[in-house]
């Protein structure tokens, strides 16, 4: 019997799936082709292994590797509850990681921005794994150059990340959206932050659906409000894994009790059909604080559901 081994480096086509041992082989995200060619690609998964902007525990630089490794079981069966193979509908590759020079931190912003711009030149949807949450800011800079300003964000997080910071090249994973709103990249009135449970004197006009709102109203009401807020505006989705309660995501840099459980977060994600998504990220997975891959598994499922969400509109 002839079996394709290490499909990530031996599969000839961009679409389709292959059975492999879950416990062996090349661990690209969900066994997708490793490739630096963006021709004919719909979605490029890539990592930004960066954690110099953290304010508490470091370690998220190892997040992209952990999410990829945790995704192997997801590639074995059709994803639940979708019941279809998203890779029959979308050409998805693993583009590898963004190269960064940690010894020259002032180069980081532009290195990440250039990394994303390479994909956007080919009209590819970037799905990016952090790294700490700072990486979303240079990604949004690239998005604004491609699509214009006034974008919406759907932001899952324990923290609003709108604390004041007027230094353009400063590295802080709690100030990115302050900069993005102040620079007009994000329209706060058409943006929503889900799961927030830390205080800020100024949320800068964003719509807050805090953790208490989710617990009290249920995922159905959250989805309804999100769709009302963003409408048909071009939307970027950013998922900080610390949106989840530490019981469901211990492996992260700034855990905050009282958060969403995995079922709530995934139910919200899976029901965002109709949102005009242009890019997404999953950030702040820090595997050195993880237990039994709980956090990495959650990150991999979030990423898989984002891909399935995109694929659901391509029948």
Per domain, the residue ranges of the chain are 7-311
- The reported pLDDT for the residue numbered 33 is 96
DSSP-H helix ranges across the chain: 7-10, 63-70, 86-89, 108-120, 136-147, 176-182, 211-230, 262-270, 294-311
pTM, 2 dp: 0.96
User: Helices in 123-259 by DSSP H: which ranges?
Assistant: 136-147, 176-182, 211-230
pLDDT value at position 275? 97
**Contact present, 70 and 293 (Cβ < 8 Å):** yes
Q: Cα separations (Å) of 276 from 31, 118, 142, 174, 192?
A: 27, 21, 17, 26, 14
Helices and strands counted in the chain (H then E): 9, 9
Annotated binding site for Mn(2+): 133, 157, 159, 161, 240, 242
Q: Which residues are annotated as a binding site?
A: 133, 157, 159, 161, 240, 242
Q: Which pLDDT value is given to residue 1?
A: 40
Per-residue pLDDT of the chain (315 residues), as tens digits, is 456 788 899 898 999 998 888 888 899 999 999 999 999 999 999 999 999 999 999 999 999 999 999 999 999 899 999 999 999 999 999 999 999 999 999 999 999 999 999 999 999 999 999 999 999 999 999 999 999 999 999 999 999 999 999 999 999 999 999 999 999 999 999 999 999 999 998 999 999 999 999 999 999 999 999 999 999 999 999 999 999 999 999 999 999 999 999 999 999 999 999 999 999 999 999 999 999 999 999 999 999 999 999 999 876
Q: Tell me the fold of 7-311.
A: 3.40.800
Enter the tokens of residue 91.
């050409």
pLDDT for res 19: 83
Q: Give the pLDDT score at 3.
A: 63
Give yes or no for a contact between 18 and 4, defined as CB atoms under 8 angstroms apart.
yes
**Residues in CB range of 122: below 8 A, 6 or more apart:** 38, 39, 41
């Amino acid at each position: 019997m002839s079996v394709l081994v290490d499909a990530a480096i031996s599969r000839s086509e961009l679409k389709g799936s292959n059975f492999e041992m879950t416990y062996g082989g090349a661990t690209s995200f969900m066994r997708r082709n490793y490739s630096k060619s963006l021709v004919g690609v719909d979605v490029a998964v890539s990592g930004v292994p960066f954690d110099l902007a953290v304010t508490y525990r470091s370690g998220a630089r190892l997040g992209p590797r952990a999410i990829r490794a945790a995704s192997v079981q997801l590639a074995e069966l059709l994803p639940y509850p979708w019941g279809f193979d998203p890779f029959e509908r979308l050409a998805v590759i693993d583009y590898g990681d963004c190269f960064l020079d940690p010894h020259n931190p002032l180069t980081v912003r532009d290195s990440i921005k250039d990394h994303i711009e390479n994909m956007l030149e080919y009209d590819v949807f970037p799905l990016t794994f952090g790294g700490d949450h700072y990486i979303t800011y240079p990604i949004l800079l690239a998005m604004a150059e491609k699509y214009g300003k006034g974008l919406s964000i759907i932001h899952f997080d324990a923290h609003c990340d709108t604390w004041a910071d007027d230094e353009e090249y400063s590295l802080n994973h709690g100030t990115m959206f302050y900069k993005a709103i102040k620079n007009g990249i994000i329209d706060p009135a058409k943006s929503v932050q889900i799961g927030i449970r830390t205080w800020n004197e100024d949320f800068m006009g964003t719509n807050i659906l805090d953790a208490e709102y989710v617990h009290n109203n249920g995922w159905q009401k959250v989805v309804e409000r999100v769709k009302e807020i963003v409408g048909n505006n071009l939307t970027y989705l950013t998922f900080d894994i610390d949106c989840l309660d530490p019981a469901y995501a211990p492996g992260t840099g700034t855990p905050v009790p009282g958060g969403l459980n995995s079922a709530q977060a995934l139910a919200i994600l899976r029901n965002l059909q109709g949102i005009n998504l242009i890019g997404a990220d999953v950030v702040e997975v820090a595997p050195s604080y993880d237990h039994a891959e709980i956090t990495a598994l959650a990150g991999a499922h979030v990423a898989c559901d984002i891909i399935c969400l995109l694929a659901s509109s391509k029948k």
